[in-house]
Amino acid sequence: MEYDKAKEPASQESLDISKITELLTHLSVRIDSLERSLANIEGITKKLPMVTAITTDAIDEYYRNAVKSGIDIEERCKKVGEMLIQITDPKKIDTLSQVIKNIDTLTLLLKQFERVPDTLAMIVDSFDELYKNAERSGIDFELIMKQGKDAASKMNELLRSDELKALMNSGILNPKTVRIVAQAGCALADCKEDRPEKIGIIGLIKALGNGDIQSALGFLMSFGKRFGQLLNK
């Protein structure tokens, strides 16, 4: 029987060489890829000064145009910074969180507000129609408004007048005074309805015996006494 060397098991040394060869091949591929990446980076780096110069020129041009238009870029940047500080305040962030949580409700409210102009237009049309109908009925709103304005002016003058202050401080508005004036008014109205007859001296003397007349005369005497005292002060 002849010995076949091809069928002999591979030695450990052959296996190690094979693995090393595979690793070297893989490493070579990675090195080639890295070289291409470095080449791209080198190309970008070479172009970077030109890109930076173009960007700087564009920014400078924008800045000059803004200055010509009266825009203060530095002031606006400052305000933006202040706004960012305010927005990032914890309290304001909490408020924004609440707004976001209730965004559906706010959206519904905004939709309702969108209908406000239409509603106002309907109300205005209704008032216009009412105004026209009133004019056809002979109602002069302009005259009413003018008279109302004049009345309000007169009322304002009255409320500020010294005469009203004196009236308020007097006893005319005292409940007892008002009651007596009301009784006198009722008596005057009754006299007008009864149509009293003419009386002479004899009739007057007889009337003095009437208890009601005596009460009225007593009131007049008391009033005359007190009124005279006030007049003499």
Question: Identity (one letter) of the amino acid at 231?
Answer: L
User: Looking at the domain assignment, is residue 193 inside a domain?
Assistant: yes
User: Looking at the domain assignment, is residue 33 inside a domain?
Assistant: yes
**Smallest Cα–Cα separation from 210: which of 223, 196, 224?**
196
Give the pLDDT confidence of 209-226 residue by residue, as tens digits.
Answer: 888 888 888 888 888 888
Contact assessment for residue 173 and residue 167, using Cβ atoms and an 8 Å cutoff: yes
User: Looking at the domain assignment, is residue 7 inside a domain?
Assistant: no
The answer to pTM > 0.85 is no
User: Looking at the domain assignment, is residue 206 inside a domain?
Assistant: yes
* The pLDDT of residue 2 is above 50: no
Distance of CA 117 to the CA centre of its chain: 17
Question: Where among 47, 68, 89 does a domain terminate?
Answer: 68
User: Looking at the domain assignment, is residue 56 inside a domain?
Assistant: yes
Residue with tokens 């006893």: 171
The CA distance from 103 to 66, in Å, is 37
14 confidence band (pLDDT: 50, 70, 90): low
Number of domains comprising the chain: 2
Give the pLDDT confidence of 46-102 residue by residue, as tens digits.
Answer: 777 777 888 888 888 887 887 788 888 788 888 888 888 887 888 888 888 888 888
What's the 3-state SS for the chain? CCCCHHHCCCCHHHHHHHHHHHHHHHHHHHHHHHHHHHHHHHHHHHHHHHHHHHHHHHHHHHHHHHHHCCCCHHHHHHHHHHHHHHHCCHHHHHHHHHHHHCHHHHHHHHHHHHCHHHHHHHHHHHHHHHHHHHHHCCCCHHHHHHHHHHHHHHHHHHHHCHHHHHHHHCCCCCHHHHHHHHHHHHHHHHHHHHCCCCCCHHHHHHHCCCHHHHHHHHHHHHHHHHHHHHHHC
pLDDT for position 59: 82
pLDDT for position 6: 47
Range of the domain at 42: 13-68
104 confidence band (pLDDT: 50, 70, 90): confident
User: Looking at the domain assignment, is residue 175 inside a domain?
Assistant: yes
